[in-house]
């Protein structure tokens, strides 16, 4: 099982590296406002909800296509199964001119905490808490509501290494709202 997990992680890493656009060395002929430094927005802040947890996000735009998003989701929305996630992800956008939304793909890593608040009499344990490393690969769309405000929605396959010989796979739906500083 560990071999399958590492194979999936290495394939996801290769996909992310293949999607990173080439940054030209000379910026004098470029029309990209991020490269020419004409004051293009680089930072945005927001809120995010994804499968039973919610929290805050910060995005940094490297250029028009590539962004890094850090998030902290410490608020669990399920009182029985408390699930929290802290991490970051790399987003690659595919700008559209004909549609009001921008599709993107992402690769993320982070730390998940999980606590089951229902006692398990067969295992003679209650409130077992665990921490594990996880990674996610997914896709989504972003649409602008106004010049500074946008909505996102995405789906990801998340893998969590919760035991030495086990991996937990979750399909997570997420949504968020971001405000871009200009």
**Residues 145-159: tens digit of each pLDDT:** 998 999 999 999 988
Q: Is pTM, for the whole model, over 0.75? A: no
Residue 114: the pLDDT is 80
50-68 residue pLDDT tens: 888 899 999 999 998 999 9
Residue 120: the pLDDT is 63
Q: How far is CA 29 from CA 21, 33, 61, in A?
A: 17, 11, 20
Q: How far is CA 52 from CA 8, 27, 49, 164, in A?
A: 25, 44, 7, 24
What torsion do the CA atoms of 62, 135, 171, 50 make, to the nearest 10 degrees? -60
Q: How far is CA 25 from CA 17, 36, 61, 64, in A?
A: 19, 12, 18, 16
**How buried is residue 123: exposed, middle or buried, by Cβ count under 10 Å (0-12/13-18/19+)?**
exposed
Q: 35 and 24 in contact (C-beta within 8 Å)?
A: yes
Q: Is the pLDDT of residue 31 over 80?
A: no
């Amino acid at each position: 099982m560990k071999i399958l997990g590492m194979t999936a992680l290495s394939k996801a890493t290769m996909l992310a590296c293949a999607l990173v656009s080439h940054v030209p060395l000379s910026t004098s002929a470029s029309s990209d406002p991020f490269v020419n430094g004409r004051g293009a927005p680089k930072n945005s802040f927001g809120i995010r909800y994804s499968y039973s947890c919610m929290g805050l996000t910060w995005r940094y735009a490297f250029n028009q296509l590539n962004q890094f998003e850090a998030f902290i989701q410490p608020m669990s929305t399920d009182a029985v199964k408390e699930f929290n996630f802290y991490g970051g992800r790399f987003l690659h956008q595919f700008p559209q001119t004909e549609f009001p939304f921008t599709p993107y793909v992402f690769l993320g890593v982070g730390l998940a905490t999980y606590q089951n608040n229902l006692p398990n009499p067969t295992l003679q344990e209650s409130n077992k808490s665990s921490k594990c490393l996880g990674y996610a690969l997914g896709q989504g769309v972003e649409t602008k509501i106004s010049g500074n405000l946008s909505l996102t929605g995405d789906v990801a396959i998340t893998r969590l290494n919760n035991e030495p010989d086990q991996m937990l796979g979750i399909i997570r739906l997420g949504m968020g709202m971001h405000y871009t500083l200009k």
